[in-house]
Structure 1
C-alpha cells in the first residue's frame, strides 16, 4: 500500500512493466534515481520516453499526470488497438543487416510511422564485418535504394566497433529509438554504445537466418556520452492500420515530386494508365519495390 505522498515531481518513463512503471526522477532530490510507480486510473497509457508528473511514496510512487507528447511511434496491436511503442522520440534508427536480410516492407512501415510524426530516420547497416557473406550484395542494393531517397546510412560492426562513435555523436541531446527485425544486432549495438545497459543477446538461427526476440518491451537507456536511446522489441510485422491515406502516401517521400501530376485527379496510384508514380517506376525514378510495398500497406488499410 502506498502512503505519505510527497509533493509533485517530474520524471521520465524508463520502462512499463504493466501494472507499474519504472521512472527516473528529473528534478530535486529525485534527479537521476529510479522509482517504481503505479499510475492513477485517469492517466493515459505510458511508454518509454513519456514525461510524467509523479509523487514519491513508500514503497511505490504514483504517476498523477502524463505530460504532452512531442511525438510517438505507434502501431496497431493484435487486438486492433493503437499501441504506442515509444514517446517523445526525435529520431529513429532502423537497424538492418545481411543476416537476416532486410524485409523492405517492414522498413517502409517504420518510415511511414516516423514520417507521420515528423521523426527523422537514419539507417544503421550492422554486421558490416560480414562483407563476404552471400547476402551482402542484396544488402547493398537496399542501402543504395534508401540513400538515393535521402535517408542517411551509418555502417556499423559490433566486432570491429565500426560506426559506434558516429552513432554516439548522433545520439547526443536527442531521444532516439532503435527498431529492426529480430537478429539484426540491436541489443549488441546497445551494449557497445552503453556498456551499463547489459541488454540480453541471442545467437541467430542458422536454419532460418532469423533472430530470437531478446527485447520484449521498449526500454529507455541513458547514454553516458549523451542522449537517450530506447531499445524496442525486434519484430517481423508492424501494422499501420491506424493511419489514413494522406499519412500513408506522405510517408513515401520519393513519391512527392509526382503527386498532382497524374492524368486523373482521383488517381488511385496503381497500375492504371496515367498514374505519374506508376510511370516513374518504369523510368527508375521511383523504386518499383517501394511502390509494391505502398500497395500492400494500402490494401491493409483498405484505402480506396
Structure 2
C-alpha cells in the first residue's frame, strides 16, 4: 500500500508538533539532570520492568523482592514489561529509569490501526494456551504458531482442561501428535486434579514465558494456581457461548515461587497476522522452509502453478494436507482483509 502524500501545510504542522515535543522533552531532561546532579537520586543499579503504566513503571531491583514505582527520563520511550533497565532510587521511595539494556527479543502485536506495538521483551518462550473447551481448531493453532515463529521466540503448545478429554484422547490427541512430530513441545494441564500442573512447572522453570491464547482457555486460572500469593481475577466461562472474558488489565511480570517468570499480557484474543506477507506466513509453517525457493517459478504462490514444490510435497505425503489447507486459508484471509 502506497503512503499518503502530505500537503505542504500538513508537513509544516507535523514538523511544528514534533519540534514542540522535542523542546518539552529537552526541558524535562534538563530538570531531571539537575535533580540527578543535585543528589536527589541514588547510584545507578540494574532492574527489570515488571509492569508499565504510561510514563511510570514498576521496576524490580536486581535481587530485590518489592518493586519500585519509577518515572521515565524524558529521552526514554517504548519501554515494555520484561525490559532490563538501569534506574536510580529517589529519597521519597520512588525512582527514575535512566537507561534501557539490550533486548534479546521483543514481542509485538498489531494495534487497531495495524501498527506493530511492543507488548513484552526478553522472553524465552511463548506459551500458546488452548483448551478442550472452547473447542480448538487447527487453523487457529496454526495462526498462533505462525505469529510466534515471526517473532523468533520459541512457541510451546499448552492444552488445558485435559480432564475433559475422552480416555482415548480423540481427534485432539491426534492433532497434538501431529504438532509434536513437527518438533513443537506440547504440555498438557488441568487444575481439576492434583499434579495437573507438574509438566507446566517443569516447562516454566528457569525461563521467562508469556501466555497467549483465545479468551476462555483458562490463562488467568492457570496463573492463579501457579502463583497462589498473587491476587488475580478470574473470568467465568459463559455457559451459553462457551467463551470467556478477559480479566487482566495490564501486562505484568510474575516471579514463580519454583523458579522462572511469567508475563501475563492482556488483550490478545488472536495473535494478529495482518502485518505479515505471504512469504512470512509460509515461513511460519516450519515444515515448508526447506521447500521454499524450490518451485519451478520464482514467483510461485503455491496455488495451481506447475512445478510447485509445496504442492508436490503434499501429494507425496511429506507435508500434511490439513497444514497446507490451513496455510492457504490464512493467506486468503490476509488478502480479504
Scaled to the shorter chain, the TM-score interval is 0.7 to 0.9
- Post-superposition Cα deviations, 1:244-272, rounded to whole Å, max 9, x if no partner, equal 55543322101123223322222122343
Q: Does 1:67 align with 2:104?
A: no
Match of 1:143 among 163, 173, 176: 176
Q: Relative to total residues, which structure has the larger helix share, 1 or 2? A: 2
Alignment root-mean-square deviation, CA: 2.6
Structure showing greater radius of gyration is 2
- Report the CA distance between 1:60 and its aligned residue: 3.0
Q: TM-score by structure 1 length?
A: 0.87
Match of 1:155 among 171, 175, 188: 188
Q: In structure 2, do the counterparts of structure 1 residues 181 and 69 end up closer, same or farther at CA, with 3 Å as the change threshold?
A: same
SS at match of 1:181: coil
- Report the CA distance between 1:290 and its aligned residue: 3.1
**Structure 2: 5+ residue runs without aligned partners?**
1-30
Q: Does 1:126 align with 2:185?
A: no
CA distance in 1, matches of 2:185, 2:235: 28
1:11 is aligned to: 47
Contact 1:222–1:228 at 8 Å: present in 2 too?
yes
Q: TM-score by structure 2 length?
A: 0.79
- Post-superposition Cα deviations, 1:9-62, rounded to whole Å, max 9, x if no partner, equal 1111111122321111115xxx22211112123213122211111122225321
CA distance in 1, matches of 2:318, 2:203: 30
Q: In structure 2, do the counterparts of structure 1 residues 293 and 205 end up closer, same or farther at CA, with 3 Å as the change threshold?
A: same
Q: Bigger CA drift: 97-106 or 14-23?
A: 97-106
Q: Does 1:98 align with 2:132?
A: yes
CA distance in 2, matches of 1:271, 1:199: 51
CA distance in 1, matches of 2:313, 2:273: 25
Hey, which bits of structure 1, 4+ residues long, moved more than 6 A?
none
2:122 is aligned to: 88
Q: In structure 2, do the counterparts of structure 1 residues 295 and 193 end up closer, same or farther at CA, with 3 Å as the change threshold?
A: same
Q: In structure 2, do the counterparts of structure 1 residues 280 and 90 end up closer, same or farther at CA, with 3 Å as the change threshold?
A: same
Q: In structure 2, do the counterparts of structure 1 residues 245 and 39 end up closer, same or farther at CA, with 3 Å as the change threshold?
A: farther
- Post-superposition Cα deviations, 1:101-158, rounded to whole Å, max 9, x if no partner, equal 224444333323332343222111110111249xx74533432332232212111101
- Return the structure number with greater relative CO, CA threshold 8 A, min gap 6: 1
1:107 is aligned to: 141
**Structure 1: 5+ residue runs without aligned partners?**
none
Contact 1:183–1:234 at 8 Å: present in 2 too?
no
- Post-superposition Cα deviations, 1:164-189, rounded to whole Å, max 9, x if no partner, equal 12211222221111111111111111
Equivalent positions of 1:1-304 (< 5 A) are 4-26=40-62, 31-57=64-90, 58=92, 60-132=94-166, 137-233=170-266, 235-298=268-331
Q: In structure 2, do the counterparts of structure 1 residues 271 and 205 end up closer, same or farther at CA, with 3 Å as the change threshold?
A: farther
CA distance in 1, matches of 2:332, 2:76: 35
